[in-house]
Amino acid sequence: MTDTTWTDLERPLPEWFARAKFGIFIHWGAYSVPAWGEPIGALGEIPDDTWFAHNPYAEWYFNTIRIPGSPAAEHHRETYGDAPYDDFLDQWGAEDFDPADWAKLFARAGAEYVVPTTKHHDGIALWDAPGTGDRNTVRRGPYRDLIGAIADAVRAEGLRFGVYYSGGLDWSVTDFPPHTTGEEVRSLRPNDAAYHFYAAAHVRDLVERYRPDVLWNDIEWPDAGKHLAPGGLHELFADYFAANPDGVVNDRWGDTYSDYATTEYSAMSENETKDVWENNRGLGYSFGYNRIESTDEILDTMQLAKHWVGVVAKGGRLLVNVGPTAEGLIPDLQRATLEGFGDWKRPLVEAAASVSERSPQPESDAAGWRREWRTPTELITFVDAPGEYRVAGEGLDLGRVRVLSGDVGTEVDGDDLVLRVAAVPGGPAAVAIARG
């Protein structure tokens, strides 16, 4: 290899990903058995010194119960005594798992791609991953290749398939103390060559078995593997792109290579200025199923629709997470939100795919929530409540107007278009106006 940088991996963004504006994330694991976290708020809004000991991410249960004095540790002691975390793998039955039903729900929601967790920070693999012994779902617990089942079902619905992998953390291969700060997440992680080869073998196996269109790594990549020599991460990327020219990789591999940036809830929002980016978040405050979450935390259809509209208006795409129960059911609140969102979203699919430039964003919503999208041929304006609204007509053809969503009447008044919104069922009203 003669290249001295990672730039030789650069290529045009695959067209499918450029057009894709909505995906489904799936966090499902042994942590779905206890399914417990304190729903204290969203990442990016809670200080570090509170976040870790009161972690709302149920998928971090293995870490949180090891923090002395944490409510999760007390909950675990009261509920499970001194049972080790791996007992949850054996209790995870997935007896009601119906991958075809999941995929139909995701298709109805208007997803263009689906990304399940294949190995989270607890190190438990959802397929027969090399080197994991019996610590995977084929040898214990569900006794099934869950990733293969999801991949087949998703593709049967015509959706793209990707894989999440935690390359940065694996609590099963280290003896570090629990993470209590963001800095400890960055510093107390496996960085040696042995872990790099272990993780790289997993990613290569995922690529060979399931041909994913997205490689979604989390946290970081072991430093010993971030090089351009044979056996390193550069070679892994090059081989992946050679096998799948339509594939993309996210930005959580350290200072190496990526096709797109990510944000999480409101954290890492500086990445929203980049050319290609994705926001990921749960429907609640957790990614893994949290039995404590209720309508107070779970987004309803209107809230999800407004969040998605705002992300797309800023040039991004949304990867929203579902957290199935240990039995394999999508919780009712999450299912209802996705079904309603998909029904509302259907007339907007082509417009979203065609958004070609960022739209100016309001500094606040104090005067009412409004957003707009800009495609090469139209301006789409959104409002979330009944009322009368004016759209300045400069640069628009006010004679060519389409109502995409809501009960809306329109009238030209001088140089403006007046929208009279009677109702906003499901999600915001949307009106498309031709650009002159």
Q: Where in the sequence of the chain do the CATH 2.60.40 domains occur?
A: 370-435
Q: What is the pLDDT of residues 283-312, one digit of tens each?
A: 999 999 999 999 999 999 999 999 999 999
Class assignment of domain 370-435? mainly beta
**Residue position matching structure tokens 């990733």:** 147
Q: Is there a contact between 334 and 291 (Cβ–Cβ < 8 Å)?
A: no
Local structure of 254: helix, strand or coil: coil
pLDDT given for residue 358 in this prediction:
92
In the beta sheet, which residues pair with residue 401?
A: 433
pLDDT given for residue 5 in this prediction:
83
Q: What is the pLDDT of residues 192-241, one digit of tens each?
A: 999 999 999 999 999 999 999 999 999 999 999 999 999 999 999 999 99
Query: Where do the DSSP E strands lie in 67-109?
Result: none
Cα gap 307→279, rounded to integer Å: 10
| pTM beyond cutoff 0.95 | yes
Local structure of 248: helix, strand or coil: strand
Cα gap 62→48, rounded to integer Å: 18
Q: What is the pLDDT of residues 355-367, one digit of tens each?
A: 988 998 887 898 8
Phi, psi of 194 (to 5 degrees): -60, -45
Q: What is the pLDDT of residues 5-51, one digit of tens each?
A: 899 999 999 999 999 999 999 999 999 999 999 999 999 999 988 99
**Average pLDDT score over the chain:** 96
pLDDT given for residue 4 in this prediction:
58
Q: Where in the sequence of the chain do the CATH 3.20.20.80 domains occur?
A: 13-354
Q: What are the residues whose beta carbons fall under 8 Å from the beta carbon of 183, sequence distance 6 or more? A: none
Helices (runs of H) and strands (runs of E) counted in the chain:
13, 15
pLDDT given for residue 2 in this prediction:
40
Task: Tell me if the domain spanning 13-354 has CATH number 1.10.15.40.
Answer: no
